[in-house]
């Protein structure tokens, strides 16, 4: 009958399927950073002051917040305001939630060269302090793919980051 050849074929193919691989778990190669993008580099450097830079793994969330803020400025995305505390928005934009309304106006004051430079900026290091749970990034410590932007306006000479709830935000 016709059932026997089909059954024989299934019995032959079934063990072959089980022999393909031998492992139940799918593995992927390790993720690597984009060439030339040092934002994730696991290096520590000695700062020009007596304080050594905090470890890259420890500071990654704070550095990512500043990175996303600077890249948000570069592309004109007002969602970058989420990385600013209300107090910072008060000082820079004139109100505790004034970033969204003043973002385009403040961004327009940046030179086109500065906006182009921000598209390639990375945040390779943070300095601990001032205080516990606070990190500082000097503008001079930012890494640029090309010519750096000029500090001024939205681009402060020093960015201070603090964890606010589950997120890191720029406080000064």
Q: What is the pLDDT of residues 41-75, one digit of tens each?
A: 444 443 433 234 568 888 999 999 999 999 999 99
Residue 172 to residues 8, 104, 116, 134, 149, Cα–Cα distance (Å)? 74, 20, 24, 11, 19
What is the separation, in whole angstroms, between the first and last Cα of the chain? 83
Residue 5, both tokens: 């050849």
Instruction: Give the pLDDT of residue 125.
Output: 93
Helix axes 86-93, 99-108, angle to 10 degrees: 50
Entry pTM: 0.68
Q: What is the DSSP letter of 169?
A: E
The HSE-up count of residue 120 (CA atoms within 13 Å, CB side) is 13
% of the chain beyond a pLDDT of 90: 53
């Amino acid at each position: 009958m016709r059932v026997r050849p089909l059954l024989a074929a299934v019995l032959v193919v079934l063990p072959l399927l089980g022999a393909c691989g031998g492992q139940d778990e799918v593995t992927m190669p390790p993720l690597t950073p984009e060439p030339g993008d040092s934002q994730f580099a696991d290096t520590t450097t000695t700062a020009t002051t007596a304080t050594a830079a905090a470890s890259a793994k420890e500071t990654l969330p704070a550095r990512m917040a500043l990175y996303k803020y600077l890249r948000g400025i570069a592309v004109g995305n007002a969602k970058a305001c989420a990385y600013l505390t209300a107090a910072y928005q008060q000082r820079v934009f004139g109100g505790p939630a004034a970033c969204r309304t003043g973002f385009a106006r403040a961004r327009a004051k940046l030179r086109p060269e500065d906006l182009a430079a921000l598209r390639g900026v990375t945040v390779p290091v943070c300095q601990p302090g001032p205080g516990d749970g606070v990190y500082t990034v000097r503008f001079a410590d930012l890494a640029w793919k090309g010519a750096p932007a000029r500090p001024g306006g939205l681009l402060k000479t020093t960015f201070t980051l603090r964890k606010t709830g589950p997120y890191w935000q720029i406080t000064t």
